[in-house]
Chains A and B, each alone.
Chain A
Amino acid sequence: MLKARIIPCLDVDRGRVVKGVNFVDLVDAGDPVEQARIYDREGADELCFLDITASHEDRDTIFDVVGHTAEQCFMPLTVGGGVRTNDDIRKLLLAGADKVSINTAAVKEPEFVRRAAEKFGSQCIVVSIDAKTAAGGRFEVYTHGGRRATGIDAVDWARRMAEYGSGEILLTSMDRDGTKLGFDIPLTAAVADAVPVPVIASGGVGTLDHLVEGIVEGHASAVLAASIFHFGTYTITQAKAHMKAAGVPIRDDA
């Protein structure tokens, strides 16, 4: 049967990991390629890089990072952050990425998602949605790292993005992100139950039980976490053992 996926995410700024793990055997804790290799070795199911490089002239650093990672880690690699054009996508795929995540550019121009899916195939287009709870039990899409409200309903938006060809939805609760209080389960379940494509739950993981909740109660197909793995609170191996013990189907033969 198909297994729930655990996806560690690394924030990369100018080619360096922003919040890295202090593994004892790590030669260079800021090197995303080394971090990726550790996650690979521990059996991460996929890997995600979020490029947060602000300055335009430094933006090409991500291509080297992706290229070197793809030489050493043979698992799906998603890269997000600043993906605005088909040319951005092409360059990331040529560097060795398998999927790209699109966030703000999709809100600005939804047709971009359609064009990207037609050109590269839905399998490599992930639409990333940042959402917050709004009045009346609804959820609203935000952009710019949760600072800018759009007035768009998150469930409707996810449905529309799937229709436009997004092969997957990466859903981040901006209420929960960084809180370690767990995923926003009502948000996750509302989106996962509304779209035919897989949903990756993100934002708020603080314990291994939260990972289980994302799958079991949130109906997500995958769970993404950054800090619990970055700071060495838990390893991927521990996360998988915990999920397996809780009855979540996971891959543990890697």
Chain B
Amino acid sequence: MSVVIIDYGSGNLRSAAKAFEHAVAAAGLDLTVDVTARADDVDRASHVVLPGVGAFADCKQGLEALPGMVDALERAVVRQARPFLGICVGMQLLATTGREHGEHAGLGWIPGEVVALEPADPSLKIPHMGWNELCLKGPSHPVFEGIAAGSHAYFVHSYGYACADPAHVLATVEYGGAVTAVVGRDNMVGTQFHPEKSQATGLRLITNFLTWRP
């Protein structure tokens, strides 16, 4: 059993890996945490994590530059339905299209578009950076087990996920309007915030993800 964190050259994977290692140890889970750029590691993984910081297109290109990686992700996540967590731009890549510096195709697993945040209040800063309160939607998802509505998570982003199907929005935050905080369907979850930087709430979500049986 292994959690793979995909390393496609996007930002700081070390802190994500450390948070997952911490969660695994604290919960006494029989899992190894592997940071990898190899498609065959994804084939063997029990859980797949796609982090990502920076621009949508750069991240997509970085992912496509790894031989066989997008195919391996399709196999593991879409066909074999293994638990998947996308973080920040790794979450945004689930969309059909990203509209950051042009128009770019995403993985298209959760229909929607990634568009610039345009808060109704023009005095609000972009990026949306800092701790914001989660508003949980619909029937509680297993990854929110033990996480109260209104818990804070750490965000830093300038673009947001506009889901085609509102049922795929699992949580929002308020920032001059509702901003998508968590998306999901079936075995896939994506967080716009950084669970690895969100202290107890983030570690709880990571632990929930690792024990989730979709």
Query: Contact: A96 with B175, CB < 8 Å?
Result: no
* Least Cβ–Cβ distance between B87 and chain A, in angstroms: 12
Query: Contact: B127 with A251, CB < 8 Å?
Result: no
| Residues of chain B in range 3-37 having any CB-CB distance to chain A below 8 Å | 11-12, 14-15, 18-19, 21-22
* Least Cβ–Cβ distance between A222 and chain B, in angstroms: 7
- The answer to the question of A93 belonging to the interface, with a C-beta cut-off of 8 Å to chain B, is yes
Contacts of B156 in A (CB 8 A): 76, 123, 167
Interface segment among A10-18, A52-60, A67-75, A178-186: the answer is: A67-75
Binary contact track B133-163/A, C-beta < 8 Å → 1, others 0:
1000000000000001011101111100000
Query: Which of B53, B148, B196 is close to A121, meaning CB atoms less than 8 Å apart?
Result: B53
Binary contact track B153-178/A, C-beta < 8 Å → 1, others 0:
01111100000000000000111000
Nearest chain-A residue to B124 (Cβ)? A2
- The answer to the question of A24 belonging to the interface, with a C-beta cut-off of 8 Å to chain B, is no
Between A and B, how many residue pairs show CB distances below 8 Å? 111
Interface residues on B, range: 35 or more
Nearest chain-A residue to B206 (Cβ)? A74
Query: Which of A77, A95, A121, A196 is close to B55, meaning CB atoms less than 8 Å apart?
Result: A121
- The answer to the question of A254 belonging to the interface, with a C-beta cut-off of 8 Å to chain B, is yes
Per the bound structure, the CA–CA distance linking A222 and B131 in Å amounts to 11
Query: Contact: A2 with B132, CB < 8 Å?
Result: yes
Per the bound structure, the CA–CA distance linking A251 and B55 in Å amounts to 28
Interface residues on A, range: 35 or more
* Least Cβ–Cβ distance between B85 and chain A, in angstroms: 16
Query: Contact: B54 with A221, CB < 8 Å?
Result: no
Contacts of A253 in B (CB 8 A): 148, 150-152
Nearest chain-A residue to B89 (Cβ)? A121
Q: Given A74-B22, A121-B11, A196-B125, A221–B174 Cβ distance below 8 Å?
A: no
Query: Contact: B131 with A45, CB < 8 Å?
Result: yes
Contacts of B199 in A (CB 8 A): 40, 43, 74-75, 254
Per the bound structure, the CA–CA distance linking A43 and B149 in Å amounts to 18
Query: Contact: A198 with B131, CB < 8 Å?
Result: no
- The answer to the question of A3 belonging to the interface, with a C-beta cut-off of 8 Å to chain B, is yes
Query: Contact: A71 with B131, CB < 8 Å?
Result: no
Contacts of A3 in B (CB 8 A): 130-132, 152
Contacts of A96 in B (CB 8 A): 12, 14-15, 18
Per the bound structure, the CA–CA distance linking A253 and B131 in Å amounts to 11
Q: Given A74-B203, A251-B152, A98–B197 Cβ distance below 8 Å?
A: yes
Query: Contact: B11 with A221, CB < 8 Å?
Result: no
- The answer to the question of B128 belonging to the interface, with a C-beta cut-off of 8 Å to chain A, is yes
Among B15, B21, B200, chain A packs the most CB atoms within 10 A around the CB of: B15
Query: Contact: A74 with B198, CB < 8 Å?
Result: yes
Contacts of A130 in B (CB 8 A): none
Binary contact track A77-103/B, C-beta < 8 Å → 1, others 0:
100000000000000011111100000
| Residues of chain A in range 179-197 having any CB-CB distance to chain B below 8 Å | 196-197
Query: Which of B18, B127, B196, B202 is close to A198, meaning CB atoms less than 8 Å apart?
Result: B127
- The answer to the question of B126 belonging to the interface, with a C-beta cut-off of 8 Å to chain A, is yes
Per the bound structure, the CA–CA distance linking A5 and B124 in Å amounts to 15
- The answer to the question of A133 belonging to the interface, with a C-beta cut-off of 8 Å to chain B, is no
Query: Contact: B55 with A198, CB < 8 Å?
Result: no
Query: Which of B129, B131, B148, B155 is close to A167, meaning CB atoms less than 8 Å apart?
Result: B129
- The answer to the question of A62 belonging to the interface, with a C-beta cut-off of 8 Å to chain B, is no
Query: Which of B11, B131, B148, B157 is close to A2, meaning CB atoms less than 8 Å apart?
Result: B131
Contacts of B151 in A (CB 8 A): 253
Query: Contact: B175 with A1, CB < 8 Å?
Result: yes
Complex A-B: 11 CB contacts under 8 Å: A76-B197, A93-B12, A96-B15, A96-B18, A121-B11, A167-B127, A196-B125, A196-B126, A198-B129, A221-B129, A253-B148
**A: which residues have CB within 8 A of B?**
1-5, 40, 43, 45, 67, 70-72, 74-77, 93-98, 120-124, 167-168, 196-198, 221-222, 251, 253-254
